[in-house]
Every structure is written in C-alpha cells, then in structure tokens.
Amino acid sequence: MRHFSVELEELNQTLLEMAGLVEASIHHSVRALVEQNRDLAQQVIRDEPLINSLEMEIDGIVTRLLALRQPVARDLRFLTAALKINTDLERIGDLANHIAERALSLMHHPLVKPMTDIPKMASLVQSMLLKCLDAFVRGDADLARSVLLSDDEVDALRDAVYAELVATMQRDPGIVPAAVDLIFVARNLERIGDHATNIAEDVVFLVKGIDVRHHAEHFEKTESGDLAK
Amino acid sequence: MSKVPAPKKLSTENLDFYYGAFQALHGITLDFQENLITALIGPSGCGKSTFIRTLNRMHETVKGTRLTGQILLDGKDILKEDVNAVRLKVGMVFQKSNPFPKTIFENVAYGLRVNGFQGGKAAIQEVVEKSLVKAALWEEVKDKLHQSAFGLSGGQQQRLCIARALAVEPEVLLLDEPCSALDPIATAKIEDLLFALKSETTIVIVTHNMQQAARVSDFTGFFLLGMMIEFNTTNTIFQNPTKKETEDYVTGRFG
C-alpha cells in the first residue's frame, strides 16, 4: 500500500473517532434533557475538551498532508472536506454541550409540559448526522443528498416549537425561564441540523466532485474549466 | 515521524570542501539519525551533491579537491579508515542508473564477489534474490535474471542499482537525485521502496525536487551557496521554516 494511503486512512480513523464522540454527545445531551438525567449532562460537558483536542489534531494532520504530499483529485477533495467536516463536528460538539447546560438548568424548573416536538427534532437531527457520517464512511453521495432534504423539516419543527412556547409564555409568565431554556435547545438542535447539512454537502463534493451548496449545481461545472453539459 | 530523537548514525563536523581554490562547502555540521530519511535540498550548485559524495569519500575520485573537518560513522572518523570498508557500510546510488554491462544477476552479485563474499553459489543466489526483493524488483526480473541489465527500463535499472547497493547490507544508503531521470510511476516505486528500507538503513537523499523531499523524508537540510542554511524536521521546513531563505526556496520564490 502507498505510504500516503496509510496516512489518509489514519486521518479517516481520527475523523471517525471524533464523529463517534460527537454523536454520543448529542445522544446524551438529549437524553439528559428528556429524562432529566444529571449524570449524562455532566458526561457531555466532560467530553467536550476531548472533541476540541481531536479538532486540533485533525487540523494538524490535514495541514501537514497538504504541505508534504501535494494531494490531487480525490485525495485533495478528501483533505479539504476533512477540514470542513472537522469544523462542523466541533461546532456540533459545542451545541451538544449547550443543550447539556440547558438540561442542567431545566432541572431547577418544572417542565412546561411533556415534550413532544423537541424529542422529535432531536431524533431527526441525530438521524441526519448518522446518515451523513455513514455516507462519508461509505462514499455514498445519494445517502448524503437524502440528508439535505431533512433540513426543511427540522426548520419547520423549530418554528412550531417557537410558536408553541411563545403562546405558553403569554398565558403563563411563570414558565418563562424554562421556556427560554427550551427555545435555546430548539435553536441548538436546528443548528446541529445545519451542520449535518454542511457535512452532507461536503460528502457529495468528496464523492462526486460536485458542489451542491447554495444550489450551486445549477451553475454547472463551467468555472472549473470542465465542459458544460 | 518519530517523536523521540533517534540515535545519530552519521554526522559531519565543521566540514569544509574545496575544488582547487574554490570553496564549495563551508563548515557543514549535520547529524543523520539512524533509520530515518534525511533529504538535502537546494538550488543547483548549492553543494548538496558535493556534500553527499563526501559521506562515502567519493570526492577522493576527483583530483585537486581538499576536505577538512570530520565525518563520523557511529562516532568513528571515516576519513581515517580503509576506504573500501567505508563504502561497504555506506552505499551510494547515483542520479543516472549505471548498471554494469552484465546480467541482472551478476550486477547484484558483483559487489559480493569483489568484496570476497565467503558463501558458496547457493548463498550468493540467496543474497541476490533477497536484495532484488528488497529493491522491489524481484517480481519483474525473476524470470530473466541471466539477461543483460541493459534490457531493463530506466526505473528498473535504478532499482537494480539499489539492489546492488543493498547486497552488501550497507548501514547507510546515499542517493544522489535517484529519480531525476524517472517518470512519476517509477519515482513512486523508488519512494515506496525507501519507506520499506528505512527500518534497517539510514537514508540520505539529495533531490532537487522539493515535493519529493517533502514526501519521503523525516528531516530536511536546505543548502545554499555551499552553506547549510537550515536543518529541521521536514514538517517544519515545509510548514513553518525558521529562515527566510528556506521559506523563499520552498515556496518557489527563488532558486
């Protein structure tokens, strides 16, 4: 096996290690919230520095490989995608951490009502993240594209949560502190969905070499010098 | 990339070198760590080839040259030892592959024979095969060992020269622009070979291809006008060199 392939595989493994930690953090933060589980919330907060140090490690590996290996074609796309996925994963880790903090704060307030939309949002963004990581591992552009479709659903759920919480606050100002926490949770979950979408777009670029961000597909590939279709 | 410094295998101390009145090297002091690959880079005429040639005393074949300073192999000054013994321990591969006008087999066996190898025919056969395997050439030549080496492609000839150098089991392998005449695929084969050889050999490679230095080496020395401007981990040289001259050279701003 080529020496460079071994190095790329090491990078791949480090990214997957980070993805695994981030996935677990979301899962734990949402469970901490729904089940009012203090231990799980604290575990998320404890794991955050690990995610941060992996982010720095991955940036270091990519910078080194860019400087020393003159990557081209898929190797180059893999390295630039790795840099961006790294940033998105780290942000997701931060957001999971924020949710864990809100979960701890909510333990001091009575729940507004049994949560329905927030767990629904949570399971949707978790499945988005799982799918885009799975797509990354398997190099499956179709699976990655399927993630892009879920983002609107997450946004709609967030709007529903906002509307419901605003209405509840207007009826009963006593629940404002708890409702504010939940608004932030919904906001954080929606942001996780955005980062998962970014990762999915990077996976499509990695696999197909096509930029699907900002509906860029419509512009076709003429700018890179390829023949227009 | 090893984090703990490896023991130094070969080093030079304050090495000056002259072609007649012209001073080609100025006080080069440099350590080559064991089982690592060190690349020497720099523009044409910077002294990197002159320097690598002193490391197994090839400079002595050029008349009118003078060298001062020390070259230490495992702490012993090679300038004071028997030159043939030095070259057995410190092998050299050149820019232009130079197989002998003999068969593939004889090219590799030759070094053994002239050095009074004691083993019989079977033992020689074994060493030839082992060396060709190490040089990643065996599969391509095993059915034509007794054909002329000149029938091989340029890349194969270069790997044959590496096999020839490896046959006497050198402790240090010097390569002076070994890939400059080769296409990218042959170059990649030689580079992969260097990674494989590293576990048993200390390797020094002169290259005017900076990307090659970046790909293969653990340490890099940058030479300019007969001086060693910077010696550092390859990582540092290509990501964050300390000297402006190095930065200008590796970024292609001069040289």
Out of A5-14, A114-123, A146-155, B160-169, which region has the weakest mean confidence (pLDDT)? Answer: A114-123
B98: Cβ contacts below 8 Å, ≥ 6 apart: B161
The predicted pLDDT at position B1 comes to 47
Q: What is the tens place of the pLDDT at every residue in B159-207?
A: 999 999 999 999 999 999 999 888 888 899 899 999 999 999 999 999 9
Share of chain A above pLDDT 70, in %: 91
Share of chain A above pLDDT 90, in %: 76
B3: Cβ contacts below 8 Å, ≥ 6 apart: none
Q: Could you tell me the two tokens for A132?
A: 């885009």
CB B191 within 8 A of CB B181: no
Residue with tokens 């404002």: A176
A3–B192: do the CB atoms touch at under 8 Å? yes
B188–A2: do the CB atoms touch at under 8 Å? yes
How far is it, in rounded angstroms, from Cα B175 to Cα B204?
6
**Chain B 200-239, residues with CB within 8 Å of chain A CB atoms:** 211, 214-215, 234-235, 238-239
Q: What is the tens place of the pLDDT at every residue in A128-156?
A: 999 999 999 899 999 999 999 999 999 99
How far is it, in rounded angstroms, from Cα A6 to Cα B173?
24
Q: Does A5 touch chain B (CB under 8 A)?
A: no
For the cut 60, the answer to whether the pLDDT of residue A221 exceeds it is: no
**Chain A 151-210, residues with CB within 8 Å of chain B CB atoms:** none
The predicted pLDDT at position A113 comes to 67
The predicted pLDDT at position B137 comes to 94
A70–B214: do the CB atoms touch at under 8 Å? yes
A68–B215: do the CB atoms touch at under 8 Å? yes
In chain B, beta strands by DSSP E = 8-19, 22-33, 37-41, 65-73, 76-77, 90-93, 172-176, 202-206, 219-224, 227-233
DSSP letter at B148?
Answer: B
Q: Classify residue A173 by burial, with Cβ atoms within 10 Å: 0-12, 13-18, 19+.
A: exposed
Q: Does A6 touch chain B (CB under 8 A)?
A: no
CATH match of A4-225 with 3.90.340.10: no
How far is it, in rounded angstroms, from Cα B193 to Cα B166?
12
The structural domains of chain A, with segments of one domain joined by +, span 4-225
Q: Which of B129, B89, B139 is nearest to B109 (CA)?
A: B129
The predicted pLDDT at position B111 comes to 83
Angle, vertex CA A212, rays to CA A208 and CA A214, nearest 5: 165
Q: What is the tens place of the pLDDT at every residue in A160-176?
A: 999 999 999 999 988 89
For the cut 70, the answer to whether the pLDDT of residue A35 exceeds it is: yes
Residues A7-23: what's their mean pLDDT? 95
Q: Which of B98, B112, B241, B208 is nearest to B169 (CA)?
A: B112
The predicted pLDDT at position A228 comes to 42
Q: What is the tens place of the pLDDT at every residue in B140-160?
A: 999 999 999 999 999 999 999
Neighbours of A6 (CB within 10 A): 10
The reported pTM is 0.81
B215–A2: do the CB atoms touch at under 8 Å? no
Q: Please tell me the CATH superfamily of domain B8-250, with its number.
A: P-loop containing nucleotide triphosphate hydrolases (3.40.50.300)
Q: Does A16 touch chain B (CB under 8 A)?
A: no
A64–B211: do the CB atoms touch at under 8 Å? no
Residues A111-123: what's their mean pLDDT? 82
Q: Residue B220 is which amino acid?
A: T
Q: What are phi and psi of A38, to 5 degrees?
A: -65, -40
How far is it, in rounded angstroms, from Cα A80 to Cα A57?
15
Residues B217-234: what's their mean pLDDT? 97
Gyration radius of chain B's alpha carbons: 18
Q: What is the tens place of the pLDDT at every residue in A58-83?
A: 999 999 999 998 898 889 999 999 99
Q: Report ipTM for this prediction.
A: 0.71
Q: Classify residue A171 by burial, with Cβ atoms within 10 Å: 0-12, 13-18, 19+.
A: exposed
Q: Could you tell me the two tokens for B54?
A: 């002193």
